[in-house]
Amino acid sequence: MEEEAEQARDYGNKLAQEMARLGRITRTLAPDESASLEKLRRLVATLTEIERQEQAALEQGKAREAALRAEIAEFTGETTEDVGGGGDGLGEKPAAVVSPPPDAAPATAGAPAGEGGGGAGKGQEGGGFVLEKTVDDPLAAMAEPQEQEEEDKSGAGKIVGAVPAAGGGAVSVPRTAVVLGGGENGGGGGPAERKANHRKKPALEGKALFAEGLHRIEAAYEVAAAEREESAARLSRLRLAVARRQREEDVALGHAELLQYLLRFEELGQHSLERQEQLRRCRAERSTLSLTRELLATQARLLETIAGGVEEASKGGKGVREAYLRQIKGIVESVEDSLEDQTRLLDNVRRRRHVAEELQASVREDRKRFFAGTKELSDECYRYESLNAHLALMRR
């Protein structure tokens, strides 16, 4: 029982450590997961309360055992003759066995006084006939009811039931003699034997109470063993439920971490798309600026040519001026055509960019809806698993 109490204390310490670890985990979780772990904490508290009740039952069994031993010691201490014995020192000196002489005839129970054999107090006169009864199995004697008959008023002897010695080890088993036949004083074995049998009566009563106490101790041990087995089975079921709940919580935590990783991945992907879009816009603007610069350089060159032509035309005659004017008009028309082409090209670039932005926005919305649906599906799966586990626990 000391070892079981030590194991119960060790298990209680382990449960306290597990509860502290669960408290640390609870402080870092979301409210819904904290509620789930609160249920697990209540299960662990129930397990601890069962351990405490088992420890209290063990202590109560020890107290009852000590009270029974004190009561047995009180009864056996009143008999000064029970000092021998084996096992725990509660034995009885073997009674003297009186045997008939070889040449004596057996006497009957109905023989008159003076005709039968004498008892131990009167020597071997008359040759009384003695029956011996030996108890070889203390456990069998313990299981059987104690037998004790009062002394026969007519002096026909005394029959005493055998009582085993308490304790284990080598047991000193008393031999009780049944004396049949009358002595010369009409008593069974004479006054000395009657006095000895009368003196042994309190010791035999103490032995009977001792055997009853042993039976009560055995019954208490059987009850305690049954309660211990029941509590052990209940503890085993609770341990399995706690382990199953812990696995479910681990799975839920894994799902939550996976969703967090997915959301983070989505954020990083969105940021990457935005950066790519910014890069494409920068490249498009750079290409536009490059085209504009080239166009402006061409226009500057044309303007310089026109200015030179105008200057030469102003110096020349009328025919020369008209030729230069026609040339300048052709150059202006070609510049206008090139400007229209560049404008059309820029409009196409802006249109393609707008279409690309709309497509990217739709892709982002689709991804958000997909991840939201995945989270809802994971939450539904977790609630379904929790409900199945709770139903299985209620069935048990």
Tell me: do 279 and 374 sit in the same domain: yes
Q: Is the pLDDT of residue 157 over 70?
A: no
Domain end marker among 170, 188, 206: 188
Report yes or no on 178 lying in a domain.
Answer: yes
At 194, list the tokens.
Answer: 């009657």
Domain end marker among 188, 209, 225: 188
Tell me: do 282 and 378 sit in the same domain: yes
Among residues 149, 208, 158, which one has the least CA distance to residue 181?
158
Q: Beta-carbon neighbour count of residue 52 at 10 Å? A: 12
- Write out the residue range of the structural domain in which residue 101 sits: 87-188
* pLDDT in the model for residue 352: 82
Report yes or no on 232 lying in a domain.
Answer: no
Q: Is the pLDDT of residue 328 over 60?
A: yes
pTM attached to this predicted model: 0.28
* pLDDT in the model for residue 258: 77
pLDDT band for 395, please (50, 70, 90 cuts). confident
pLDDT digits (tens, 9 = 90+) for 298-313: 777 877 777 777 777 6
Q: Is the pLDDT of residue 86 over 50?
A: no
Greatest mean pLDDT range, 116-125, 358-367, 372-381: 358-367
pLDDT digits (tens, 9 = 90+) for 345-367: 878 877 887 888 888 788 878 87
Q: How many CA atoms lie within 13 A of 11 on its CB side?
A: 20
What is the chain's percent helix, strand, coil content, to nearest 5? 70, 5, 25
Q: Is the pLDDT of residue 233 over 80?
A: yes
Cβ distance 167 to 36 under 8 Å?
no
Close Cβ partners of 128 (under 8 Å, ≥ 6 residues apart): 98, 100, 107, 116, 117, 118, 119, 179, 180, 181, 183, 189
Task: Sort 242 into a burial class: Cβ within 10 Å, 0-12 / 13-18 / 19+.
Answer: middle
Q: In degrees, to the nearest 5, what angle opens at C-alpha 375 toward C-alphas 369 and 380?
A: 125
Report yes or no on 127 lying in a domain.
Answer: yes
Q: What percent of the chain has pLDDT over 70?
A: 55
Report yes or no on 3 lying in a domain.
Answer: no
β-sheet bridge partners, residue 130: 179
Report yes or no on 360 lying in a domain.
Answer: yes
Domain end marker among 164, 188, 212: 188
Q: Which of 75-84, 285-294, 306-315, 321-330 has the lowest mean pLDDT?
A: 75-84
Q: Which helix (H) or strand (E) holds 129?
A: strand 129-134
Report yes or no on 257 lying in a domain.
Answer: no
pLDDT digits (tens, 9 = 90+) for 269-293: 778 888 888 888 888 888 878 877 8
Among residues 67, 63, 73, which one has the least CA distance to residue 224?
63
* pLDDT in the model for residue 203: 64
Full DSSP string of 196-217 = HHHHHHHHHHHHHHHHHHHHHH
Report yes or no on 198 lying in a domain.
Answer: no
Under DSSP, the state recorded for 114 is: T
Give the number of domains in the chain: 2
Report yes or no on 172 lying in a domain.
Answer: yes
Q: How many CA atoms lie within 13 A of 198 on its CB side?
A: 10
Cα 258 to Cα 269: distance, rounded to the nearest angstrom: 16
Q: How many CA atoms lie within 13 A of 197 on its CB side?
A: 27
